[in-house]
Structure 1
Amino acid sequence: MLRVDGVPSETKKQLQEAAKRLYGKANASLLVRSLIASHLSESEVVASPITAADAGDTVRVELRLPRVALEKVNDLAEGRFSARNYYLTSVILAHLGQPQLHGDEIEVLRRSNYEMAKVGTNLNQIAKAFNTLVKMRGDEKLPEVGKKIASLRREITEHTGKVLRVLEFGTTVWEANGRGQRQRKRK
């Protein structure tokens, strides 16, 4: 038995309404169990990552949507700083276990890494000045502050490395397709 506390009554009503639409019963528990089962079955599928070569080998697919749905897709794509085709491709790939980052996520991660790299550079300068002072005093043993600076530098390096790996994995299609932007035809 699974019990979830802290769910507002409005959320419960929304879950019941969604369950009614999907299953014909206003049973929020049924909906939640279904969502959990769906998530677990998706997470068990281990797909091999998309490579740059895979992302470059594309096939054209025609999709027909109601106009109102297309307008919503256009708005969603624009809000994520992505072209419509890239947005739709990323939604499909996410469903297949190959999530791709959108333009807004890529920009935030790149900016974050840039700022962290700047902090790392400043930290290196502080460490160099600190080490110079330690040597001038004639201490052979590195004080606790120096060890903490080195530890912080390692954490920053690890963090920026993780972000770069996320960017590399989550932008394969983005990079292969011209950064997710609309391609203009040359005259």
Structure 2
Amino acid sequence: MGAIITKTLLSEIEKSNWKQFCHSHGMSEAEMLRMLINRVSPEASNTEDFKAIRNNKITIRLSTENLKKLSCRAKAEGYFYQTSWVNAAVMANLYREPILTKEEMGVLRDSNRQLAAIGRNLNQIARVLNIEFRESDKITKEMIEALSLRIEEHKTKVYKLLHKNRSRWNIHE
């Protein structure tokens, strides 16, 4: 099938803005137009031209401006390597689930240790209440409230971490 050309008339301002938009996304005007058409009208896309890769490596080219933005964002979000941030961005987009940094994973590990400690405290309380019924007066209201407060603090910490992560990758439930 031969190629068919589509044309449109633009004002100087529209053309200038279009060129700048395409350039800022690291694409030619034709590539951007083709991508937009395929996104708006998937049934019009030509999947015959799709080229599958032969290995699990993908190379991308970014404008200098976009590379700077990527670097700043990766650093700000705690990534040591730009590639790690790009990989996390792709995975978050593909799976629509949070992708955690090593620091965030550490926070969640610490969180699990705290939950385990709380669980041990609850087991001790249950043991006292069930086995040593006569000594149940050793468990005070303050002890239960302190444990409840630790649980609430923990839940808030985990919620903030996951909320920050979902916001980073623009994942909404």
- Name the TM tier (shorter chain): 0.3 to 0.5
Q: Give the TM-score taking structure 1 as reference length.
A: 0.37
Specify which structure has the bigger relative contact order, considering alpha-carbon pairs within 8 angstroms and separated by 6 or more residues: 1
Normalised by the length of structure 2, the TM-score is: 0.40
Larger Rg: 2
